[in-house]
A = this chain, B = another copy of it.
Amino acid sequence: MFQLLSTDGRARRGRLETSRGPVETPAFMPVGTLGAVKGLTPGMLGACGAEIQLANLYHLALRPGIEVIEELGGLHEFVGWSRPILTDSGGYQVFSLAKMRSLDDDGVTFRSHLDGAELRFTPESVVEMQQRLGVDIAMVLDECSPWPISREDAAASMRLTNRWARRARTAWNGGRGQALFGIVQGSTYLDLREQAVAELTELGFEGYAIGGVSVGEPLESQRTTVEATAPLLPADRPRYLMGVGTPEDILHAVASGVDLFDCVMPSRNARHGLLFTRRGPLRIKNSRYRTDPRPIDPECGCEACTSCGRAFVHHLIRTGEITGQVLATLHNVRFYLDFMGQLRDAISSGSLYDIEPPPAVRRGAPDPPGS
């Protein structure tokens, strides 16, 4: 399924082959929680350059329900997206969104954050639901540890995740070109991460994810965890860093050997008026953009940058117009996908380590000079 095309240090340029077409890696998967990236149609997402999108099993299981999507011919048919889809297993959402969860060795019982309805996820049911959705990449159910967590609790949690992974692998019936990825937990304890990798790789997944990062730990810990864990994973399988992150985080992880990413950052920031550019982020609501005729990013080819400018997006976001959110999302998602293309080219030409990430998004930091 995964073809390694070239390397630059630890960074990998590859290709994921799926029955719904190839995904050039390193790749970013825009997040379509309920089946669509908020504000974009499937056609717009494709036009941004996305080759794969992520959807959330947890949200889709609540609404509209797995049986509805199955009856309609599967997730791709339902959402009108013919390229690959990866679904998150719901582990993260159960532990971050759901109410009154009760964890036992067999699975997790929780109440919907919407209406309080009781639901239960087990490793087997989560695998089965993703198979019924017909997704290209399914994820195992894991327990996503909070941070901070004691070594003892992190170890117990990681062992539970790995027992669940074994059951998921057994339950998995990967017909029709579907792949199942395991998830490495272990918090910031590097020896636990190492143990998790050793156990999971014995089970032989089609790919491996690094989970439980970007859950509140310091950036240095996140970096150390990624740097230490990614190289332990099998070289012939795709490596996916879940829920990360800024362009800078992604560059760091790519340089550590990670191939796949997802994050709500480009789309969520867009809706709040934080726009990525090659010179650093713009807070487009800022009054300095009221009469700024320039494109959001002059090097960007998205519609927001080529047909209107900062002043119009400022105006639309300030007045609460939906079109402002649409244009901002279009731009930020395109920005991320262009950035991934830049990283892929750099790996191919052996120049990844020359790349400067765009200046980071920092709370309270001023907009970049000249912007």
Asked if A290 and B43 sit within 8 Å, CB to CB, the answer is: no
Complex: how many Å from CA A106 to CA B68?
62
Asked if A78 and B308 sit within 8 Å, CB to CB, the answer is: yes
Q: A183 contacts the other chain (Cβ, under 8 Å)?
A: no
Q: What copy number does this chain have within its complex?
A: 2
Q: A140 contacts the other chain (Cβ, under 8 Å)?
A: no
Q: A330 contacts the other chain (Cβ, under 8 Å)?
A: yes
In-complex Cβ contact of A303 among B42, B312, B327 (8 A): B42
Q: Mark A282-321, 1 if CB is under 8 A from B, else 0.
A: 0000000011010000000001100111011011101101
7 pairs, CB–CB < 8 Å, chain A vs chain B: A34-B321, A36-B316, A41-B303, A78-B315, A322-B322, A322-B326, A326-B326
Q: Smallest Cβ distance from A291 to chain B, in angstroms?
A: 5
Nearest residue in B to A320 (C-beta to C-beta)? B34
Q: A39 contacts the other chain (Cβ, under 8 Å)?
A: yes
Q: A323 contacts the other chain (Cβ, under 8 Å)?
A: yes
Q: A255 contacts the other chain (Cβ, under 8 Å)?
A: no
Q: A118 contacts the other chain (Cβ, under 8 Å)?
A: no
Nearest residue in B to A32 (C-beta to C-beta)? B323
Nearest residue in B to A327 (C-beta to C-beta)? B41
Complex: how many Å from CA A75 to CA B340?
35
Asked if A39 and B291 sit within 8 Å, CB to CB, the answer is: no
Asked if B316 and A43 sit within 8 Å, CB to CB, the answer is: no
Asked if A318 and B72 sit within 8 Å, CB to CB, the answer is: no
Q: Smallest Cβ distance from A301 to chain B, in angstroms?
A: 12
Nearest residue in B to A316 (C-beta to C-beta)? B36
Residues of B within 8 A of A325 (CB): 322
Q: A120 contacts the other chain (Cβ, under 8 Å)?
A: no
In-complex Cβ contact of A323 among B38, B73, B316, B319 (8 A): B38
Residues of B within 8 A of A191 (CB): none
5 further interface pairs, Cβ-Cβ under 8 Å (given A42-B307, A72-B293): A35-B315, A40-B323, A41-B326, A77-B293, A78-B309
Asked if B308 and A80 sit within 8 Å, CB to CB, the answer is: yes
Residues of B within 8 A of A323 (CB): 36-41
Complex: how many Å from CA A318 to CA B316?
24
Residues of B within 8 A of A71 (CB): 291
Asked if A34 and B315 sit within 8 Å, CB to CB, the answer is: yes
- Given the known interface contacts A35-B312, A312-B80, the answer about A68 and B291 at a Cβ–Cβ threshold of 8 Å is yes
Residues of B within 8 A of A72 (CB): 291, 293, 309, 311
Q: Mark A40-53, 1 if CB is under 8 A from B, else 0.
A: 11110000000000
Residues of B within 8 A of A307 (CB): 41-43, 80-81
Q: A242 contacts the other chain (Cβ, under 8 Å)?
A: no
Residues of B within 8 A of A290 (CB): 64, 68
Q: A79 contacts the other chain (Cβ, under 8 Å)?
A: yes
Q: A63 contacts the other chain (Cβ, under 8 Å)?
A: yes
Which 5 residue pairs are nearest across A and B when measured between Cβ atoms?
A: A80-B308, A80-B307, A36-B323, A39-B322, A64-B315
Q: Smallest Cβ distance from A266 to chain B, in angstroms?
A: 15
Asked if B318 and A63 sit within 8 Å, CB to CB, the answer is: yes
Asked if B36 and A303 sit within 8 Å, CB to CB, the answer is: no
Residues of B within 8 A of A73 (CB): 293
- Given the known interface contacts A78-B308, A308-B80, the answer about A38 and B322 at a Cβ–Cβ threshold of 8 Å is yes
Residues of B within 8 A of A41 (CB): 303-304, 307, 323, 326-327, 330
Complex: how many Å from CA A232 to CA B77?
53
Q: Smallest Cβ distance from A62 to chain B, in angstroms?
A: 9
